[in-house]
Structure 1
């Protein structure tokens, strides 16, 4: 593995989660310890945040504020811009990243003319090239011909136009071999150090959009790179920063699994229900035919501004969904003229006068490790091949189905040793709310103890309760409209 620096904590008094290690790393070059430039800078920034930051807002308030932003600019600009591909060669030389007219203020002015309220820049895409002045790897913009911190210039330019700043960051990193089969503790530390830089050096970050994590195509699980640790790190630095993982390819639309905002990538076939959505959401689409700039873009028509407004922006906003339109700067570092004109036309067509609906209450984000995943299961008689093992296989496209002849179905998860937990989710397949009434028991000291009963009509049941310890959990279905179909059972120990 190339270009990863080893970090070491040089301060006492880190908290129980070890997050202070990430704030103040020293860096080894070979066997020589060199004080990190992050050290002094982070002390100053954290002190500033402590003085200026008020009490954190509630998650539902932050979600409402996000929805109220209506419309923003996604900016895919990174080393793939210079390769005519969306996925760059992981060994591409920094020498090709050589814009001669880079002007982030041009991007910001174009966003303002479209009546956008924020931007979101690809700080690091899947090939691992960092377009900020990072101390974690030499595979970054400061070793390119540009030698300028693009993230800083972007953040300054968008704030100058009164626009909020969001950042995109990829967990998948093919240059540093941060991919399945290769992931190490050094990788995880690099992620934490990079996110610490992004969260401390560029002012208030409204949202961090994370990609390449627990998606079917990236295959990096929330266990290999622990989601809860990364989530709490971000919130420990900027509590009001929304953490958004682009994971809709895997998780159902009814609940916020591992994200503060539900995301939909239209080009990947992910489409929000404009009629049924009740969660804070984001829908993304490129104004061109792909995310990063291609040599064909200047001469190829962009998407119709009227269609973008009438079929995307307006109806999405009415469905609690923010719309983010990708505009890809070219190799000079500028947005092409045809895209600039389309953004102006959007600004003329869209009047931004519709009042937005108030978000209904939701069950909150689930961020903890699912301790039920892949554990041994048992159940009453199953339907054909759809046996109990499909209820906790980390796949929402498979399911345990109860046999139609069973009057009182049950399913049991064996956790092995007694473990603490305070949250259980039951995700159903098939018809919504086919489970009408259910109860849950847990085994402690070889005795079954009643935990709760519920008659929730939701397709995904979410039950939070005071922490208990158990080695087994059993779910009884007492009433159902049709034989139960359970796609995934989750058991979690949330940190409160």
Structure 2
């Protein structure tokens, strides 16, 4: 009898658990889209709202004191539905909120730090209210997250394993507690002003974590200033901060991109905003939004809520005017085929380099200094230039990229050396400015390029070598 009762109990437990397990399988087995499809869907969104709203809203500066108390954050009339309806009035397709900016204050209910909104007078999860409101109004949901975090001392030369653990835990919360997130915009990483490299905080680990949690979430890093427009480096989408002077060139076959600009004077709200004219809606539409869309670029316009948690009347009026002038006309033309982004660490940085005679001071070290603005330049008297990297010992790698300042090199060969024997990886023509080669993993202590034909004096901005996890 006891055995029968135990069997009944097990069967009852299975009956209760099985539907939950099946439901979990359905949730976790959503079709995973190809990156090209996600990129196309992203550019087709065309236009969205950036929302810089955080503790900086209360200090009249974009970068507050890292020790600013959580008690400052007190939006007594917070209304995310107002924001969503304002975005709809401009015919925007999505929103993106600053879950954590550079000062480290988290506006969601996080278990990773006490420096969060639940310890402010508000005591409400702003990220949840934002995601709920935007979805209820038929808008897609993006999130912004800063790697640089001055409150938690996650800054150059101070990064510890505990910091990386915190980043992973915070991103896991954001990507598991708030439903489908179409895109994650990362900031404060590999930027000249943040000085946190992709080695300090390992990009590939973070990228793969994001994709493991939400495979259909695009990850884009606001690193557009450093990397060439023709290559997709450390981002699923090219990014351009227009306020910092970053612009898309007009004469290129454009990769899928995002450009951002604030409607008001600053990213975060300041006391002068209600009485200072915002940017001209007609110019934003005709001189920014429409031209960007024609270049496969999605435009995200920042609108900063005030200290009450509402958008000012002048911002609301401008958004309504934009909506009268512009409508999303549907999908853009199909994007050109592009390579998968580079997400691994460049093992060629700063290793000893050699080459044929250089032109004056443009010596070989400039081709692996992690600076795309400098180049090794071949001396004009050399007819068959070559360039070589020496790892000193065998390294494992499966990707090589040759980045030129101008696409001068046409035909060439790539070789690697293992146990004193050189083996050819590629020989042929590639006229692209970013010459990307992916191949089966090899081991070697040297890598070189022999340049056969070229239009003008050959030069290499960066000779890059990667060991991608596949």
TM more than 0.5: yes
Q: Aligned equivalents of 1:335 and 1:46: distance in 2?
A: 43
Say if 2:415 is the partner of 1:444: no
**3-state secondary structure, aligned to 1:348:** helix
Q: Partner residue of 1:237? A: 213
Q: Aligned equivalents of 2:445 and 2:226: distance in 1?
A: 28
Q: Partner residue of 1:34? A: none
**3-state secondary structure, aligned to 1:343:** helix
Q: CA RMSD in A?
A: 1.4
Q: CA deviation at 1:355?
A: 5.1
TM-score, scaled relative to structure 2: 0.94
Q: Partner residue of 2:116? A: 140
Q: Aligned equivalents of 1:102 and 1:48: distance in 2?
A: 34
Q: Aligned equivalents of 1:49 and 1:131: distance in 2?
A: 30
Q: Partner residue of 1:19? A: none
Q: CA deviation at 1:490?
A: 0.9
**For residues 220 and 319 of structure 1, do their structure 2 counterparts lie closer, same or farther at Cα, with a shift above 3 Å needed?**
same
Q: Partner residue of 2:306? A: 330
Say if 2:445 is the partner of 1:471: yes
Q: Computing the radius of gyration over CA atoms, which structure comes out larger, 1 or 2?
A: 2
Q: Aligned equivalents of 1:381 and 1:219: distance in 2?
A: 33
Q: CA deviation at 1:50?
A: 5.3
Q: Partner residue of 2:9? A: none
Contact persistence 1:141–1:147 (CA under 8 A): yes
Contact persistence 2:94–2:141 (CA under 8 A): yes
Q: 1:327-364, CA deviations, whole angstroms, 9 ceiling, x for partnerless residues? A: 00000000001100111111111032265121000112
**For residues 264 and 72 of structure 1, do their structure 2 counterparts lie closer, same or farther at Cα, with a shift above 3 Å needed?**
same
Q: Aligned equivalents of 1:256 and 1:412: distance in 2?
A: 24
How many residues are paired up? 451
Say if 2:364 is the partner of 1:388: yes
Q: Aligned equivalents of 1:164 and 1:74: distance in 2?
A: 12
Contact persistence 1:275–1:319 (CA under 8 A): no
Contact persistence 2:44–2:331 (CA under 8 A): no
Q: 2:428 aligns with which of 443, 451, 454?
A: 454
Q: Aligned equivalents of 1:373 and 1:267: distance in 2?
A: 30
Higher mean displacement: 396-405 or 187-196: 396-405
**3-state secondary structure, aligned to 2:175:** helix
Higher mean displacement: 460-469 or 124-133: 460-469
**3-state secondary structure, aligned to 1:366:** coil
Q: Aligned equivalents of 2:399 and 2:75: distance in 1?
A: 50
Q: Aligned equivalents of 1:415 and 1:66: distance in 2?
A: 40
Q: 2:389 aligns with which of 396, 399, 413?
A: 413
Q: Partner residue of 2:455? A: 481
TM-score, scaled relative to structure 1: 0.89
**3-state secondary structure, aligned to 1:84:** coil
**For residues 428 and 165 of structure 1, do their structure 2 counterparts lie closer, same or farther at Cα, with a shift above 3 Å needed?**
same
Q: Aligned equivalents of 1:259 and 1:46: distance in 2?
A: 34
Q: How does 1:258-407 map to 2 (within 5 A)?
A: 258-353=234-329, 356-407=332-383
**For residues 50 and 367 of structure 1, do their structure 2 counterparts lie closer, same or farther at Cα, with a shift above 3 Å needed?**
farther
Q: 1:430-487, CA deviations, whole angstroms, 9 ceiling, x for partnerless residues? A: xx32101111010011111111113111111111112111111011111111121111
Moved over 4 A (4+): 44-47
Contact persistence 1:394–1:488 (CA under 8 A): yes
Contact persistence 1:125–1:170 (CA under 8 A): yes
Q: Partner residue of 2:74? A: 98
The unaligned stretches of length 5 or more in structure 1 are 1-43
**For residues 391 and 98 of structure 1, do their structure 2 counterparts lie closer, same or farther at Cα, with a shift above 3 Å needed?**
same
**3-state secondary structure, aligned to 1:256:** coil
Q: 1:56-76, CA deviations, whole angstroms, 9 ceiling, x for partnerless residues? A: 111111000000001000000
The unaligned stretches of length 5 or more in structure 2 are 1-19
Q: Partner residue of 1:8? A: none
Q: Aligned equivalents of 1:249 and 1:80: distance in 2?
A: 24
Q: Partner residue of 1:15? A: none
**For residues 448 and 319 of structure 1, do their structure 2 counterparts lie closer, same or farther at Cα, with a shift above 3 Å needed?**
same
Q: Aligned equivalents of 1:104 and 1:252: distance in 2?
A: 37
Higher mean displacement: 346-355 or 433-442: 346-355
Q: Aligned equivalents of 1:454 and 1:122: distance in 2?
A: 47
Q: Aligned equivalents of 1:487 and 1:359: distance in 2?
A: 27
Contact persistence 2:175–2:181 (CA under 8 A): yes
Q: Aligned equivalents of 1:261 and 1:47: distance in 2?
A: 32
Contact persistence 1:45–1:201 (CA under 8 A): no
**3-state secondary structure, aligned to 2:204:** helix
Q: 1:39-96, CA deviations, whole angstroms, 9 ceiling, x for partnerless residues? A: xxxxx99974753542311111100000000100000000100000011110100011
Q: CA deviation at 1:417?
A: 2.0
Q: Partner residue of 2:97? A: 121
